[in-house]
Structure formats: structure tokens, C-alpha cells
Amino acid sequence: MAPFALGSIALLALLGAAWWFARQKTARAAKMVRILLGGGALLAGVVISLRGAVILGGPLGVFGLGMLGEALRPGGAQRAGSNRGDQAGRGGAPTRSGMSLAEAREILGVDENADANTIRAAHRRLMKKVHPDTGEGSPALARQVQEARDRLLSDLGE
């Protein structure tokens, strides 16, 4: 009976953790994954090195340290040049990439009162046309449409 109860509790804990993880923003989830993988790799590298296989454990430990360093460095979850809405100002002020709210609205073809569903629908419609896999689009156009969507949704707080 005790193993069944422990297994049930462990399963519920894992399901709860998976549910919580699925509700996180992408950057935060990536940071959590880097911390978990980096810590695990560091621990495995130390254990393997202590057991005598320094040739295998050393690089694994260094990899773990690199993952932890990337995750714990301020701003480490964001790549250089990525435009996340978290740093974007309010109003029509341009972001780091220079796209203002007015430009984003013009690219997606939505008005000032557009809600999140309207923005997503316009984004979906345009991406069907400009995605590189369609043969008519290009990566630059797809990036611009994606950036416009991110800019408008970040202004709405989503």
C-alpha cells in the first residue's frame, strides 16, 4: 500500500509541475530548462569524475557550468537582437529594433482598438502569405510580421 501511495503522490507532483511549467512564458521556461539541465550535467560530471572517469566527467561538468552561467547571467534568457515585449516602452515609442506601435499596426493592418484575437488573426493571415515555406515569402518578411505581432501584444500586456 505504501509504494502505491508514494507513487500516486509522485505522479500528482509531476503532473502539477508539468501543468505549472506549461503556463510559463517562453523565456522563463527556457531559463528553467537551462538551470535544470545545467545542474544535472554539473552533478553528473562531478559524480563521473569522482568515480575515476575524468575524461568523460570533466567536459560534462564544464557543459553544466556553461548552461548554468547562461541561465543565471542577467538577460541570459534573451538572445542578442531579440525583441521581447518586456523591455518595450508604452505608447508609440519605438522598441530596440525601432518598430513603433503605429508601424506594427500598419504591418498587420489592424486599427488602434484591435484586441488580442484580432491581432493574432491578422498575424496568422499574413504569415500564410509571407512565410518562407510558401515559396512567396522570405525570412525577413516573416520576422517583421512576427515582430509586429509581438509588439502589439506586449502593448496589450499579453
Mean pLDDT in residue range 33-53:
86
Same domain for 122 and 74: no
The CA-based angle 83-121-95, given to 5 degrees, is: 20
Record the pTM.
0.40
User: Which residues constitute the domain of residue 60?
Assistant: 25-78
Is 20 a member of any domain? no
* Residue 39, number of CB atoms within 10 A of its CB: 14
pLDDT, tens only, 116-155: 888 898 889 888 888 888 777 788 888 888 988 988 888 8
Q: Is the pLDDT of residue 93 over 60?
A: no
Is 4 a member of any domain? no
What's the maximum distance between 2 C-alpha atoms anywhere in the chain? Answer: 65
Is 10 a member of any domain? no
For the domain that residue 139 is a member of, what is the CATH number? 1.10.287.110
Number of domains composing the chain:
2
Q: What is the DSSP letter of 89?
A: P
* Residue 65, number of CB atoms within 10 A of its CB: 14
Same domain for 66 and 102: no
Is 35 a member of any domain? yes
Res 75: pLDDT: 60
In the structure grid, which three cell numbers stand for residue 129, read together? Answer: 502569405
Same domain for 152 and 95: yes
The CA-based angle 24-26-27, given to 5 degrees, is: 105
More confident: 25 or 92: 25
Res 106: pLDDT: 87
